[in-house]
Amino acid sequence: MDIDEAALSLPVVDDLRSLRETTWFNENVRTAGEGLQRVGLALADVEDAEARLRRFAPLLAVAFPETAPSKGLIESDVIPLPRMQAKLEQTSPIAGSLWLKKDSHLPVSGSIKARGGIYEVLAHAEKLALGSGLITLADDYGALLSPSFRRLFGRHRIAVGSTGNLGLSIGIMSARLGFHATVHMSADARQWKKDRLRAHGVEVIEYQQDYGVAVEQGRKAAASDPSCFFIDDENSRTLFLGYAVAGLRLRKQLREKGITVDAAHPLFVYLPCGVGGGPGGVAFGLKLAFGDHVHCFFAEPTHSPCMLLGMSTGLHDAICVQDIGLDNKTAADGLAVGRASGFVGRAMEQLIDGCYTLSDQSMYGLLAMLDRTEGIRLEPSALAGMSGPQRVTASRAYHERHRLTADQMSRSTHLVWATGGGMVPENEMQRYLACADPGANAL
């Protein structure tokens, strides 16, 4: 594919090419009212997704007993990080207070993918179940765990391409309902994730190449089998809506914690970004919930800045990180994506306030710092959001563009979205922690 020369000579592209940690603020950002128009989805779609998750809650509470305390809702806590904030501020200040959204500890699969991935499997299962005539919208969906529905689902396949966590979520949920699940895993996927899936009876196909190839091969294999439903991480509106539910839930959660979000108390949210569906869907939900009072930023590894590259050049999925000489190799396996979703980049192009990159070593450093200060352990990808609050605090230009005063900044909330890590095995975690020490060997 020929790439526009002018796009390739932008200064920001130069920064990305040379693997510098880069912060890019989006000059095309519009008000929530305007920006939401171009997404092609609306509040009613997100409410529909929330209602579907509520119909499935009784089933989930039985299928995954760890969700019983939340009555079958898959949701995570929001906690303050006072000690981490103090530690970070030894290098550069954060105006406002630092909080963590613990999607890393979501039940079933321990990552943000427990939102979108599980939701899309449930939406597909519901369609098949309603189509069979064996159940109606008003029935208790617990019945879907019965042998007759297992037989129905057993005649169907579900496939997906993944760097690990999406496969884990979709595989576990699909297998639990009785579907034949096939996960096409990129070279980045950690061994323990593949092992865990196989233990659940999921077929795992491994590739020596990156995420783009795994998705492409999965799509191809599924296309030749009419009983196979392919979950398309690059384009799926269903996945996106599963993630978006987080926005309305967060509004309620912050209210319960006594955290105000309004013009005088802005909310900044930092979302690690791979292909874009997870952070894009969550950001969409956040804009619906908080309007112009929320500012959303995407965080990516220096070796895989596909969304920053696509948005800053306006080329979206017509350009990939390999086109500017990057290798898409990163310890942040959840973010090892070379080409962003064209759907998400375009849909969110007026709603995302900025993107930035950070090195693997920065993520490891933050991983160890969070462990030492707060006793919270995450996977490397999930730390990408952690350097955002300092960058936003430091940008006078950004404050001026949004007319953010020092007062507003000092009353703001910075929410770092921890996207994964709750299920990382202890030996793997020890290796991550060792990598924070510059003397140690890289993974």
Q: Kindly list the residues in this chain that would bind ligand PLP in the complex (CB under 6 A).
A: 111-113, 165-166, 272-279, 334-335, 337, 379, 381-382, 419-420
For the CB of residue 418, give the shortest distance to ligand PLP in the complex, in Å: 8
Which of 115/157 has CB closer to ligand PLP?
115
The structure tokens 């080329």 sit at: 315
Which of 78/134 has CB closer to ligand PLP?
78
The structure tokens 């994730």 sit at: 193
Question: Which three-class secondary structure state does DSSP give residue 164?
Answer: coil
- 426's CB contacts (< 8 A; 6+ apart) are none
Which of 183/335 has CB closer to ligand PLP?
335
For the CB of residue 124, give the shortest distance to ligand PLP in the complex, in Å: 18
Which of 112/352 has CB closer to ligand PLP?
112
Please provide the size of the chain in residues: 443
Q: How many CB atoms lie within 10 A of CB 372?
A: 14
CB of 21 closer than 8 Å to CB of 356: yes
Exposed/middle/buried for 232, CB within 10 Å: 0-12, 13-18, 19+?
buried
CB of 344 closer than 8 Å to CB of 325: no
For the CB of residue 394, give the shortest distance to ligand PLP in the complex, in Å: 24
Dist. CA 13–CA 22, nearest whole Å? 10
Question: Which three-class secondary structure state does DSSP give residue 184?
Answer: strand
Dist. CA 195–CA 311, nearest whole Å? 36
Which of 178/276 has CB closer to ligand PLP?
276
Dist. CA 47–CA 59, nearest whole Å? 19
For the CB of residue 113, give the shortest distance to ligand PLP in the complex, in Å: 6
Which of 59/416 has CB closer to ligand PLP?
416
One-letter amino acid of 246: A
Which of 412/419 has CB closer to ligand PLP?
419
For the CB of residue 210, give the shortest distance to ligand PLP in the complex, in Å: 13
- What is the torsion angle, in degrees rounded to the nearest 10, for the CA atoms of residue 167, residue 346, residue 310 and residue 102? -40
For the CB of residue 330, give the shortest distance to ligand PLP in the complex, in Å: 12
Q: What is the DSSP letter of 86?
A: H
- What is the torsion angle, in degrees rounded to the nearest 10, for the CA atoms of residue 86, residue 410, residue 361 and residue 280? 140
Which of 141/417 has CB closer to ligand PLP?
417
For the CB of residue 266, give the shortest distance to ligand PLP in the complex, in Å: 23
- 125's CB contacts (< 8 A; 6+ apart) are 144, 153, 177, 179
Which of 310/420 has CB closer to ligand PLP?
420
- 325's CB contacts (< 8 A; 6+ apart) are 17
CB of 398 closer than 8 Å to CB of 85: no
Find residue 358's DSSP bridge partners: 301
Dist. CA 37–CA 182, nearest whole Å? 36
**CA-CA-CA-CA torsion sign (65, 71, 74, 78):** negative
Which of 72/345 has CB closer to ligand PLP?
345
For the CB of residue 342, give the shortest distance to ligand PLP in the complex, in Å: 13
CB of 275 closer than 8 Å to CB of 231: no
For the CB of residue 207, give the shortest distance to ligand PLP in the complex, in Å: 17
For the CB of residue 360, give the shortest distance to ligand PLP in the complex, in Å: 14
Find residue 97's DSSP bridge partners: 413
For the CB of residue 56, give the shortest distance to ligand PLP in the complex, in Å: 21
Which of 294/335 has CB closer to ligand PLP?
335
